[in-house]
Amino acid sequence: MVLFKQSLIGLKADQFRHPLDLEATRTLKKIPGLDLLIRSLLGSAAEQIFYLENISSGILVGKNQLPQLHELLQQASLILDLEPPQLYVRQHPSPNAYTFAMRGKQPFMVIHTALLELLTGEEIQAVMAHELGHLKCDHSVYLTLANLFVLAAGTLPFWGGIIAQSLQIQLMAWMRCAEFTCDRAALLVTRDPKIVISVLMKLAGGSPSFVNQLNIDAFLAQARTYETASQSQLAEVLQQAQNLNLSHPVPVLRAREIDRWSDSQGYQTLIRGVGV
């Protein structure tokens, strides 16, 4: 059972937004014509397509449908002072979750069955809180645009492809920064860094058949080893090349980052000072 945590009434996105996310978001907003591109690509037709895809091929969670998942989402949304989105569960062998939202429209969250099979109740709520972090920080429109470019960039004409590739690189860099922020949202809900780190560890190499043998402390030691090994100039170049086309930072970096933030004065002040 997941215990209810104190709500962070009045919580603002910038109170927990990661500095890298803030910087990358400012960079995106400076790109000429990006807002116009978003409006043209992500109109009402796209929203309708996604809605029909989910309502026809997934399970809409509610009070009378998978009520435990419904309650976990309600709790997480209340803690983050956010209206809960629709939640769909979809049959899929890849453990994943994602969020879609148009400005001013009804957002929704999707969780794959493979992820539910891998996680505990508290960890599932951490995933929900991570996705809610995207909504709290208004990430979702940029996320959807990035995903569209990943699918379409290879099919565009030469010059269009070059422009799309350049924008895609910037969007990918922003997405990696945004993930750090949303891990913080997960921690604000769970109030236990080990729960968030456990999710990351299971996503890196978990399996239902040996999940009970996984060790969080050993995973954090692995993260410190990676950090130490990447301090040389050559390692830094290789690390940048490794991450260039990734939509998420590597799991060990995310685990190390959330472990550090959980010990920070900013986090401790936030959970004591915002909630009432």
Catalytic residue annotation: 131
Nearby residues of 127 by Cβ (< 8 Å), 6 or more positions away: 97, 111, 115, 119, 186, 199
Tokens of 145: 């645009």
Report in angstroms the alpha-carbon separations of 198 from 94, 192, 248.
18, 10, 16
H-helix or E-strand containing 51?
helix 44-57
Residue 195, class by beta-carbon neighbours within 10 Å (0-12 exposed, 13-18 middle, 19+ buried)?
A: buried
Given phi > 0 = left and psi -120 to 50 = alpha, else beta, which region is 13? alpha
